[in-house]
Amino acid sequence: MKDYLLFVAIGVLVVFSFFVLRSIAPYLFPAYFLYYLLGFIVFVFFLQFDFSIISVFSWHFYIGSILFLLLPLLIGKITRGTIRWIPIGSLTIQPSEIVRPFLFVFFANYLTQGELNWKKLFKAGLLFILPVFLIYIQPSLGVAILTTIGVLGILLATKMKKRYFLLGALLALVVIPLGYNLLAPYQKGRISMFLFPGNDPYGAGYNSVQTMIAVGSGKIFGRGLGKGVETQLAFLPERQTDFIFASVSEEMGLVGALILLLLSFFILFRLIRLIENSKSPAGRAYVTGLFLTLFFQICIHVGMNVGLLPITGVPLPLVSAGGSSLLGTLMGLSIALGVEKG
């Protein structure tokens, strides 16, 4: 039996997103309706299958994901110095967002079948490095991190001894500072501006300052849809994607922001219910990976909108404008709903 409360919550959040986007970015329409239509189609399509049936094609999903991630390097559309998107007619698709649920299906099955020993973990690591590397070089550090978090969530749901995670966490504390040197200059700049946004309020720190102004100016009930100064006058950059939470906070106030967060976390709560009730180890692992990815995605997006985290291009699931993100998230949730059966 499908989780109808989860189904309804997803629908309500998408409708909420529609009204917000029509207010803050009306120029997206009517073209953006195509993404809503495609999202509905893929959601209904995967809703027809049990997770056990989808799992049969896990290797096909992995190979297809690698090929799909290679396409931007061959026919990709260069936008702001990145090659994350491929043009398909009048639409642009970001493969790294689309393939994520398929990669989770693959690793959930691979890591829960048979004995999980060091040899298998090593092979899984090699299989994991390839897609994440292809995502990172686009460059898309945020998506690469979210994909890594999801696969770590899948590992947490396996029978792997948890003390190994502690060792991994200690290793990460050593590696992360060293990894700072591998960041691009603009990525280092974002960290610097997060720590000291007031040092350059009209330059690199502009986005951080404007988001905090937008969030604070909404107060309790907001300025009203279509009446936000920061949002409507475009003082707030990328208001329909990276900073949509700040836009909602300005135009709908604390009330609108709380509604948005309650809907998002209700979806996460229902995913936890799926994890608890799943009889399939692979299904449980898949939903755990999806849950952690969405949880961190929400926290990172809100955190950077209120000045608690460095600014990075992480959309708010089901709410931010971004056809590929919408398609990938709806696909991932639809597959999760099949776990109750499989």
* Closest to 215 measured CA to CA, from 232, 231, 196, 198: 231
Q: How confident is the model at residue 228 (pLDDT cuts 50, 70, 90)?
A: confident
Rounded to whole angstroms, the Cα distance separating 177 from 173 reads 7
Query: Is the pLDDT assigned to residue 123 strictly greater than 80?
Result: yes
Compute how many other C-beta atoms are within 10 angstroms of the C-beta atom of residue 270.
21
Tell me which of 15-29, 190-204, 288-302 is least confident: 190-204
Strand order in the sheet with 91-93: 77-79, 82-88, 91-93
* pLDDT of 168: 61
- Cis check: omega of the bond before 139, within 30 degrees of 0: yes
Compute how many other C-beta atoms are within 10 angstroms of the C-beta atom of residue 74.
8
Rounded to whole angstroms, the Cα distance separating 216 from 237 reads 16
Planar angle of CA 208, 143, 51, nearest 5 degrees? 135
Q: What is the pLDDT of residues 28-43, one digit of tens each?
A: 999 999 999 999 999 9
Average pLDDT, rounded, for the chain: 86
